[in-house]
Amino acid sequence: MNEAQKRILDRVEQIVVTVIFVFFLRRIWPEQLDLAGLVPILLLVSEGAVVVFLILRRPTTNISVRPQDWLLASGGTFFALMVGAGGDPLFVKFSLVLVLLGTLVQVFSKFSLRRSFGLVAANRGVKKSGMYAFLRHPMYAGYMLSHIGYLMYAPTVRNMLVYAAVWGLLVGRIFAEERMLIQDEAYRDYAQKVRYRLAPFIF
């Protein structure tokens, strides 16, 4: 695949994610803007940040063209937008705190990446500062915190299954990204200094 085709793939990824986010926004926007209504709004901010950074990111031609990597990236992103409202909220204030904390972690992670943000495994430069000084994949840790919080707010079987699939895909994305990044000596040095990918002392 030549460089022009890879740049086209880069643009296709941006367009598809933007369109799906619009449908997601319409589906989970709360009927009332009360305390409980802040939970889905924060989730929209969290997922909307993905779209914004995706549009502003730096183009790259060093991007994976492996079909399985594209499936992992698209699945992990799109499935997360398949959750909906429903169920009786559990511990609304605590779920709000988790979604807010998860949103802050992932937004600060995106700011650490700046224009190096992307969905499909690619080398847009090795980041070592900000949130990446503590974890190799802090953005995914932030996603998971937000997911737990929203699941407490809308505890349905569907949402549980969606997030279970998303978490599996996120772990797959971690290995796909590191498979490409580990070719870079700078990343190998970074991985030796920052041992944990997702959760300190666990993974």
pLDDT more than 70, % of the chain: 78
Report pLDDT digits (tens) over 7-17: 777 677 777 77
Whether 203 is in a domain gets the answer no
User: Which pLDDT belongs to residue 33?
Assistant: 62
How sure is the predictor about 163, in pLDDT bands with cuts at 50, 70 and 90?
very high
Structure token digits, residue 172: 């797959």
Indicate if the pLDDT at residue 158 is higher than 80.
yes
Whether 108 is in a domain gets the answer yes
User: Which pLDDT belongs to residue 149?
Assistant: 92
- Cβ atoms of residues 150 and 43 within 8 Å: yes
Indicate if the pLDDT at residue 87 is higher than 70.
yes
Q: Which domain holds residue 33?
A: 3-193
User: Which pLDDT belongs to residue 38?
Assistant: 75
pTM (global) more than 0.75: no
Report pLDDT digits (tens) over 99-152: 889 988 888 887 776 656 656 656 566 777 778 888 988 888 998 999 999 899
- Cβ atoms of residues 73 and 119 within 8 Å: yes
Q: What CATH number did the domain enclosing 98 receive?
A: 1.20.120
Whether 155 is in a domain gets the answer yes
Whether 199 is in a domain gets the answer no
Least confident of 12-16, 79-83, 92-96, 186-190: 12-16
User: Which pLDDT belongs to residue 81?
Assistant: 76
Whether 202 is in a domain gets the answer no
The mean predicted confidence, pLDDT, of the chain is: 79
Give the span between the Cα atoms of 51 and 85, in whole angstroms.
Answer: 21
Count of structural domains within the chain: 1
Whether 34 is in a domain gets the answer yes
